[in-house]
Chain A
Amino acid sequence: MRNNKLICAPYTVWMTLFIIVPMGLVAFFAFTDRSGAFTLHNIAQVGQYSNVFLRSIWLGAIATAVSLLLGYPLAYIIARANPSRQSALVMLVMLPMWMNFLLRTYAWMTLLEDNGLLNALLTAVGLPRLHMINTAGAVVLGMVYNYIPYMILPLYSVLTKIDPSVIEAAQDLGADSKKVFLKVIFPMSMPGVISGVTMVFVPAVSTFIISKMLGGGGNLLIGDLIDMQFLGSAYNPNLGSAISLVLMVIILICMGIMNQFDDGEEVGGGMLL
Chain B
Amino acid sequence: MLKPIITLKDIAVTLGGEQVLKNFNLTIGDGEFVTLLGPSGCGKTTVLRTIGGFITPDAGDVFFGEQKITDVPPHKRAVNTIFQKYALFPHLNVYENIAFGMRIKGKKEDEIRRTVNEMLHMVNLDGMARRGVGSLSGGQQQRVAIARALANEPKVLLLDEPLSALDLKLRKDMQSELKKIQQAVGITFVFVTHDQEEALSMSDTVVVMDKGQIQQIGTPIDVYNEPKNAFVADFIGESNILDGTMVEDYLVEVAGQRFKSLDSGFGTMAPVDVVIRPEDIDIVPTASSAAHVAGVVTSVTFKGVHYEIIVDVDGFKWMIQTTDSAKVGDRIGLALTPDDIHVMARSEYSGKFGDYSSFSEEMGMARLSSGKEADDA
Give the interface of A toward B (CB within 8 A): 163, 165-166, 168-176, 179, 183-184, 187-188, 190, 265-272
Contact = CB atoms under 8 A, between A and B. Distances in A.
Interface residues of B, number: 34
Contact of B73 (A171, A266, A272): A171
Contacts of A190: 91
Contact of A172 (B80, B85, B96): B80
A268 B135 contact: yes
A187 B96 CA distance: 13
A180 to B, nearest CB: 8
Contacts of B80: 172-173
B4 interface: no
Contacts of B104: 173-175, 179, 183
B85 A267 contact: no
Contacts of A174: 75-76, 101, 104-105, 152
23 contacts: A163-B87, A166-B90, A168-B54, A168-B87, A169-B88, A170-B100, A171-B74, A172-B79, A173-B75, A173-B100, A173-B148, A173-B152, A174-B75, A174-B152, A175-B75, A183-B100, A183-B103, A188-B90, A265-B91, A269-B132, A270-B92, A270-B132, A270-B133
The 5 nearest A-B residue pairs measured at CB: A268-B132, A270-B90, A270-B134, A173-B101, A169-B87
A184 B92 CA distance: 9
B244 interface: no
Contacts of B250: none
Counting chain B CB atoms within 10 Å of each CB, the highest count among A165, A172, A175 belongs to A172
A267 B93 contact: yes
Contacts of B92: 267, 270
Contacts of B152: 173-174
A168 to B, nearest CB: 6
Contacts of A268: 93, 131-135
A20 to B, nearest CB: 35
Contact of A165 (B75, B83, B105): B83
A2 B22 CA distance: 63
A169 B83 contact: yes
A270 B91 contact: yes
Interface in B44-79: 52-54, 73-76, 79
Contacts of A266: 91
B132 A166 contact: no
Contacts of A269: 132, 134
A160 B101 CA distance: 24
A149 B105 CA distance: 38
Contacts of B89: 166, 169-170, 184, 188, 270
A170 B91 CA distance: 13
A174 B52 CA distance: 12
B81 interface: yes
Nearest to B76: A174
Contacts of B132: 267-270
Contacts of B81: 168-169, 172
Contacts of A169: 81, 83, 87-89, 148
Counting chain B CB atoms within 10 Å of each CB, the highest count among A163, A171, A184, A190 belongs to A171
Nearest to B377: A273
B275 to A, nearest CB: 39
Given A168-B87, A169-B89, A270-B89, 13 more contacts: A166-B87, A166-B88, A166-B90, A171-B73, A172-B149, A173-B104, A174-B104, A175-B100, A175-B104, A266-B91, A268-B93, A270-B133, A272-B134
Nearest to B131: A268
Contacts of A267: 91-93, 96, 132
Contacts of B74: 168, 171-172
A269 B89 CA distance: 11
Nearest to A266: B91
Interface in B348-366: none
B90 A271 contact: yes
Contacts of A272: 134
Contacts of A175: 75, 100, 104
B232 to A, nearest CB: 31
A166 B76 CA distance: 17
Contacts of A184: 89, 91
A1 to B, nearest CB: 28
B305 to A, nearest CB: 39
Contacts of B96: 267
A179 B73 CA distance: 14
Contacts of B135: 268
